[in-house]
Chain A
Amino acid sequence: MAGLKDVKLIVDGKRLDGRTPTELRPIKMQVGVINEADGSAFIEWGNNKIICGVFGPRECIPKHEANPYRALVKCRYMMSPFASLEEHGKSGPSRRSIELSKVIRETFQNIILAEEFPNTEIDIYIDVLQADGGTRTASITVAALALANAGIPMKDMVTAIAVGKGGDELIVDLGKLEDNFGQSDMPLAFSARDKKILLVQMDGLLTREEIEKLLDMAEKGAEKVYAMQVDALKEYYLKDEETKFKL
């Protein structure tokens, strides 16, 4: 790729945005932002802005897809036309958004107790308002919050984080430039309690030792994100009665 050598991703041990290799971008989460959805959440992860609404369990349409043993989990990830400089979201679903919808759906199929709702579907709608690298991990993080807000039973919370290699160093939570010009990028999704890996994808090349190190780093990063998820839920349910109620 042109310009690959031009971008120095690590200068004096600091990354482009001044972070240390294991530092995360600033993250803000909010639960219960939409009235009409059964559950909803909003996340600002660095410059990423993602909103998620969850519906269901509701009647499965088309009916022939319904599974008599479990609920179908459906996911629609979409980028808004103004999400980034590239042509994302300009004319409906793209190859990329279809892939992301699939991986997010499969992440949650393993964690939702779908057997409790046979013949139904659970819809996860994710809209990326602004993208700056790492939207799939931020989407999974925010969708877990929305599902918890919707009262859909889950075995565990889901926390996602990307790790990778840029400027010959192992880094956590890759931004857009690190994603595009780094040597490798590995988004991971964990279940929060038992640290089971629910999603792993990889771009570029990594050695076996590097992957082992990155998994450790990702777990530590995921713990930080999980703490923020818990705080967001606590804030919503504790303030429920205090501030939202006005006569």
Chain B
Amino acid sequence: MFENQKDVTGLISASYCWFRLEVLEMSERKIVVPGEKIAEGMIRMPGGYSEGGATYATLVGFIDETGRYVQLESRYTPMPDDIVVGMITDSRHAGYSVDLALPKEGFIPSRAVRITLELGDFIVARVRTIERDGVVELCEVRRLPKGKIVEFPSAKIPRLIGKKSSMLNVLRTNAGGDIVVGNNGYVWMSEKCDIPLLLKALEIIRTKAHKPGLTDAIAKFFQEQKR
């Protein structure tokens, strides 16, 4: 389910693909602020704004060694087929409302679920459609067992998953329980996990998100902690 997370459409993977090439240290990279030119010519790209024959950044980011613009801060905008984690906030006859860390609550129609959900349940689901008013309709809902949800910056979620879920696998094996990452920035962790340890690891990933070799560093961190 999570292997395909980053290969949704060309547009999304363009914004997610910064972790594929990492050679330079962060301090050698050029930080870009809103309004700085990121490309010649009017190029449609996430976080870009075209005007007068050139493309300018709209968000803080950096230019990597291949000349690609990578966002450092962004707000999550839902796309169809995204995997999201949320919490049930309301249950009605027609369906359930879900907190997804978005301006509008998501919605699960009753016909999309066979299980009965209760207020406060954590769920993982796939985005089916986004309605005009911003309400996200979900499908393929799974209830998550007892655990905890924490918020993670959505711009750095790809790093938390890693190439072919490499980072996620490291976290899962070392924390002793299951972890589910939603594209919306909510990370669910099972109560079997060593949650304080996991939170420390998440903090490292958050603050060092753009360092090369982070997966190995996290594996090393767990080894040191276990000693």
Contact = CB atoms under 8 A, between A and B. Distances in A.
Q: Name the 4 nearest CB pairs between A and B, nearest first.
A: A151-B73, A156-B35, A153-B58, A245-B207
B59 A151 contact: yes
B80 to A, nearest CB: 17
Contact of A192 (B35, B134, B203, B208): B35
Interface string B127-145: 0000011100000000000
A59 B104 contact: yes
Contact of A153 (B49, B134, B200, B208): B49
Interface stretch (B3-11, B14-22, B26-34, B170-178): B26-34
A241 B207 contact: yes
B211 interface: yes
A149 B222 CA distance: 31
Given A113-B49, A157-B33, A152 B75 contact: yes
A232 B47 CA distance: 21
A237 B72 contact: yes
A234 B60 CA distance: 9
**Among A60, A153, A156, A193: residue with most chain B CB under 10 A:** A153
B163 interface: no
Contacts of A237: 31, 60, 62, 72
B13 interface: no
Contacts of B58: 113, 153-155
B56 interface: yes
A68 B103 CA distance: 13
Contacts, number: 95
Given A118-B134, A237-B31, A247-B200, A155 B208 contact: no
Contacts of A56: 103
Contacts of A101: none
Contacts of B74: 151
Main secondary structure of the interface of A (DSSP, over half): mixed
Contacts of A191: 35
Interface in B36-58: 36, 47, 49, 51, 56, 58
A230 interface: yes
Chain B interface residue bracket vs A: 35 or more
B210 interface: yes
A113 B35 CA distance: 12
Interface residues of A, number: 38
B33 A245 contact: no
Interface in B179-204: 200, 203-204
Interface of B: 26-27, 31, 33-36, 47, 49, 51, 56, 58-60, 62, 71-75, 77, 103-104, 132-134, 155, 200, 203-204, 207-211
A119 interface: yes
B73 A148 contact: yes
Interface in A185-227: 191-193
A230 B35 CA distance: 11
B35 A149 contact: no
**Among A117, A119, A148: residue with most chain B CB under 10 A:** A148
Given A113-B58, A152-B75, A155-B56, A241 B211 contact: yes
Given A56-B103, A151-B75, A155-B58, 11 more contacts: A58-B103, A59-B104, A117-B103, A151-B59, A152-B75, A155-B51, A156-B34, A157-B35, A191-B35, A193-B56, A238-B26
A241 B56 CA distance: 26
Nearest to B72: A237
Nearest to A233: B33
Contacts of A247: 200, 204
A39 B73 CA distance: 10
A229 B33 contact: yes
Contacts of B60: 148-149, 151, 233, 237
A57 interface: yes
Nearest to A154: B34
A95 interface: no
Interface in A93-121: 113, 116-120
Given A120-B134, A155-B49, A193 B72 contact: no
Contacts of A58: 103
